[in-house]
Amino acid sequence: MAIEANGGFKNPENTRICPVCRSVEPEWQTVCSICGEKLKMRSVIPPIQETLHDRSQGSPVPDEAEKQINLARITLLVVSILMIGFTFVLWNMVSKKSGAIPTEMLVSVRLNLFISLMIGFAFLGLFFYAKSNPFGACLIAFILYLTSILVNLGTDPNSLKEGFWFKVVIFVVLGNGIKAGLAYKKSMHR
């Protein structure tokens, strides 16, 4: 085994390197004789300085991906606070005028408000979940938000126009959060 000038090891032509214990094995061998790990066809050990440098960085997430993840987390928090706050305000308004609203309509409105409240709390939970799994949290939030818009669209076709640009911004930010979360997920599996 030859040591290169940059501190890494050069893989001789007829050998394989174990990805677990880094022992050098003959090319014909399929498992490591030291630890029993399955060997890849031709692997090269990365230079020692780069491996140590990568591990000492703390976060394997590129700066841009980290910014997108933080932006998506903040969006989850803002949307949850807005949904919970507006739901309580609307619930209070509906309760004050409950005598003037027909019973079937009052039940429907309260059911919609309750669903909005639950979605708000779900977004709050996803805000915390995004710390450990940004991809999953942003994907769930995207699907949940899309579903709530489609349900509202089914009950009131004019609901799409209300806050249209706000909805677009949330979709864009959550979409970027999904992309950043995917980049984070891939970087964790390197």
Domain ranges of the chain: 1-58, 63-188
User: Whole-angstrom Cα distance, residue 135 to residue 140?
Assistant: 9
User: Whole-angstrom Cα distance, residue 172 to residue 35?
Assistant: 47
Of 184, 151, 147, 187, whose CA–CA distance to 67 is shortest? 184
Average pLDDT over residues 133-140: 89
User: Whole-angstrom Cα distance, residue 149 to residue 129?
Assistant: 22
pLDDT tens digits, 38-94: 877 654 444 433 333 343 444 445 677 777 778 878 888 888 898 899 889 988 888
Q: Let me know: does 72 contact 176? Beta carbons within 8 Å.
A: yes
pTM above 0.75, yes or no: no
Q: Let me know: does 25 contact 44? Beta carbons within 8 Å.
A: no
**Whole-number pLDDT of residue 46:** 43
Query: Which amino acid is residue 92, in one-letter code?
Result: N
**Whole-number pLDDT of residue 64:** 72
User: Whole-angstrom Cα distance, residue 148 to residue 79?
Assistant: 13
